[in-house]
Amino acid sequence: MQVNVEEVLLNVNKQQFQLDLIDWFLREQRDLPWRHDKDPYKIWVSEIMLQQTRVDTVIPYFNNFISKFPTAEALAEADEEKVLKAWEGLGYYSRARNLQSAVKEVVSQYGGKVPNEVKELSKLKGIGPYTQGAILSIAYGIPEPAVDGNVMRVLSRILYITEDIALPKTRKLFEKIVKELISKEKPSEFNQGLMELGAIVCTPKSPSCLLCPVQDHCLAFREGVQDELPIKTKKKTTKEVLINALLLQNPEHKILIHKRPNKGLLANLWELPNHEMKANFLNQDEQLQQFIKKQYQINVEIDHHFMNLKHEFSHLTWRIAVYRGVTTTNTTNHTDLQFVTLDEISEFPFPVPYQKILDEIKKDLL
């Protein structure tokens, strides 16, 4: 059934709702580093980092990132490997790459000033409607909606909307609703108020309704159905990939690492040499030995199985079996391979699963 925005908002006292939300936000907002000024570049960085990552986790990454790349110009000029290193651990590395590529465009096209128009912002890589709304409202005070999963949860409850928030059309519906509901005088505080409410009061499980500043406006609370909203269909099960990886040391005790291709998942990050396991008659360690020989012309003697690790991405699960081996080779001609010491390894950006494996390797080898 088509939801009519006017009907949804018919009985909402917009002005009082804005007042209650904004007053509460101004009183109770958390002290977060990206709230210290209204620099659109910093707000942009924080919003990209905050996508699917908790605030507590983001704070140290944000501070470190901004100390290394304090301006759009600094980020535009930075070496990609240094940017990925500063992003290491946050995951979703394509976001860091898109951010840097868009920042380069801001520097070359707009003299380093982040645009304040939807038309220009929306053309930048990695800036979707949410980030666009966050930058425009928070940095420039323009009443644009910034709707993410948190905001949809909060508004599903307040307005008792039962549309499936996993569907793109539902996000569009909420954007229309926020366009009507947003304070034209204080759009920054309004949008941040909704985000803050979702983060600390109207949480996914057990919302703190008794402490809620907009309880009087909340239809779900009135009906006692806050725990049943929002409606969200479950994702399909993810694909599972079995990987054999090799912890290979040469006579100088250096470890062989491999740079991933410059396109696709985790592009340009480093890892242990590995391959996807094939279901044939060879043992896993023999498969690995033959793969390294064929792919990199390196003779390997596999010693033993070192560890297993499971890592879940949003769309994919990796099950990595790590084997330990030795080689008599000290060099390689392949540009995507390097032998490095344990100390040198920390200079390279690795995705989270390989960081975990490296932690185990360090414990074992140190």
* Enzyme catalytic residues: 47
**114, 218, 292, 358: which one binds ligand SF4 (CB under 6 A):** 218
> CB of 7: closest distance to ligand SF4 in angstroms?
20
Closest to ligand SF4 by CB, 169 vs 222, is: 222
Binding region for ligand SF4 (CB under 6 A) out of 48-56, 64-72, 151-159, 186-194 = 151-159
Q: Which amino acid is at 116?
A: N
Paired with 247 in beta bridges are 324
* x/- map, 152-191, ligand SF4, by CB under 6 A: --x--xx---------------------------------
Closest to ligand SF4 by CB, 65 vs 221, is: 221
Query: How far apart, in Å, are the Cα atoms of 90 and each of 49, 98, 232?
Result: 7, 14, 25
| Helical residues (DSSP H) of the chain, grouped into ranges | 5-9, 14-28, 40-50, 55-68, 72-77, 80-87, 93-110, 118-121, 129-134, 140, 149-158, 168-181, 187-200, 219-223, 284-296, 342-345, 352-365
**49, 165, 202, 272: which one binds ligand SF4 (CB under 6 A):** 202
d(CA 132, CA 123): 10
Q: Is residue 83 close enough to count as binding ligand SF4 by CB under 6 A?
A: no
Helix (H, G, I), strand (E, B) or coil at 316: strand
What residue has token string 């969200």?
232
Closest to ligand SF4 by CB, 217 vs 259, is: 217
**178, 212, 288, 361: which one binds ligand SF4 (CB under 6 A):** 212
**194, 201, 257, 292: which one binds ligand SF4 (CB under 6 A):** 201
Closest to ligand SF4 by CB, 92 vs 174, is: 174
Furthest CA-CA distance within the chain: 77
> CB of 145: closest distance to ligand SF4 in angstroms?
18
Binding region for ligand SF4 (CB under 6 A) out of 58-66, 119-127, 218-226, 332-340 = 218-226
> CB of 159: closest distance to ligand SF4 in angstroms?
10
Q: Is residue 322 close enough to count as binding ligand SF4 by CB under 6 A?
A: no
Closest to ligand SF4 by CB, 157 vs 258, is: 157
Vertex 52: Cα angle to 191 and 76 (nearest 5): 85
**91, 129, 193, 207: which one binds ligand SF4 (CB under 6 A):** 207
Contact call for residues 191 and 133 (beta carbons, < 8 A): yes
Closest to ligand SF4 by CB, 115 vs 207, is: 207
**220, 255, 277, 288: which one binds ligand SF4 (CB under 6 A):** 220
**209, 231, 326, 342: which one binds ligand SF4 (CB under 6 A):** 209
Query: How far apart, in Å, are the Cα atoms of 57 and each of 60, 61, 69, 94, 159?
Result: 7, 7, 19, 18, 31
Closest to ligand SF4 by CB, 158 vs 256, is: 158
Contact call for residues 51 and 128 (beta carbons, < 8 A): no
Alpha-carbon dihedral angle through residues 101, 106, 108, 112, given to the nearest 10 degrees: -130
Binding region for ligand SF4 (CB under 6 A) out of 2-10, 94-102, 175-183, 220-228 = 220-228
Paired with 340 in beta bridges are 255
Binding region for ligand SF4 (CB under 6 A) out of 99-107, 129-137, 213-221, 257-265 = 213-221
d(CA 97, CA 267): 9
Mention every residue, 6+ apart, whose C-beta is less than 8 A from residue 56.
none
d(CA 133, CA 143): 8
> CB of 324: closest distance to ligand SF4 in angstroms?
52
d(CA 94, CA 106): 18
Q: Which residue ranges make up the site for ligand SF4 (CB under 6 A)?
A: 154, 157-158, 201-202, 207-209, 212, 214-215, 218, 220-221, 226
